[in-house]
């Protein structure tokens, strides 16, 4: 193996011109470092601003989605109320129709009983006790209509 020994070199003094150049170089290096630091700070600030903008955009999108969901929910509730009203209207109409038909059937049964009573009676008197005014039926029968 080969060993190489290094001797520390002696410092060389440059004089006044060399010192000025050295100071200028140091100042330039410091300025470059400051510029680099400023650039880094600017980049960091820009990144932070971009992140904040991204967060704001995400929040806006989230709010829009929530509003759309609320609209859908409200629309569904309105549709459900309309369906319930329509069902209620149909039930009311059906009950009215049923009541009307029930009244008609009851009336027809009453008329049928009276006609059968008239056909079977010899003195042409209704079960109600009133005399019949015509041969086709009694006055109380026609008043039921």
Q: What is the pTM of this model?
A: 0.39
What is the residue extent of each domain of the chain?
42-106
One pLDDT digit (tens) per residue for the chain, 145 residues? 556 665 656 555 555 666 777 888 888 888 999 999 999 999 999 999 999 999 999 999 999 999 999 999 999 999 999 999 999 999 999 999 999 999 999 998 888 887 777 666 555 454 555 555 555 555 555 555 4
Distances (CA, A) of 86 to 14, 76, 78, 82, 90: 104, 15, 12, 6, 6
3-state secondary structure the chain: CCCCCCCCCCCCCCCHHHHHHHHHHHHHHHHHHHHHHHHHHHHHHHHHHHHHHHHHHHHHHHHHHHHHHHHHHHHHHHHHHHHHHHHHHHHHHHHHHHHHHHHHHHHHHHHHHHHHHHHHCCCCECCCCCECCECCECHHHHHCC
Q: What is the pLDDT of residue 142?
A: 52
Q: Are 117 and 127 in contact (CB under 8 A)?
A: yes
Q: What is the pLDDT of residue 39?
A: 93
Lookup: tokens for 135: 């041969």
């Amino acid at each position: 193996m080969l060993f190489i020994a290094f001797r520390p070199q002696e410092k060389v003094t440059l004089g006044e011109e060399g010192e000025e150049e050295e100071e200028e170089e140091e100042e330039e290096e410091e300025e470059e470092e400051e510029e680099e630091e400023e650039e880094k700070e600017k980049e960091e600030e820009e990144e932070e601003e971009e992140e904040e903008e991204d967060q704001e955009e995400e929040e806006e999108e989230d709010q829009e989605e929530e509003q759309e969901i609320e609209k859908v929910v409200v629309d569904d509730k309105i549709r459900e109320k309309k369906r319930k009203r329509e069902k209620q209207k149909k039930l009311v109409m059906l009950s009215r129709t049923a009541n009307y038909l029930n009244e008609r059937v009851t009336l027809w049964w009453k008329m049928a009983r009276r006609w059968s009573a008239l056909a079977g009676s010899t003195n042409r008197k209704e079960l109600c006790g009133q005399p019949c005014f015509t041969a086709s039926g009694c006055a109380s029968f026609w008043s039921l209509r």
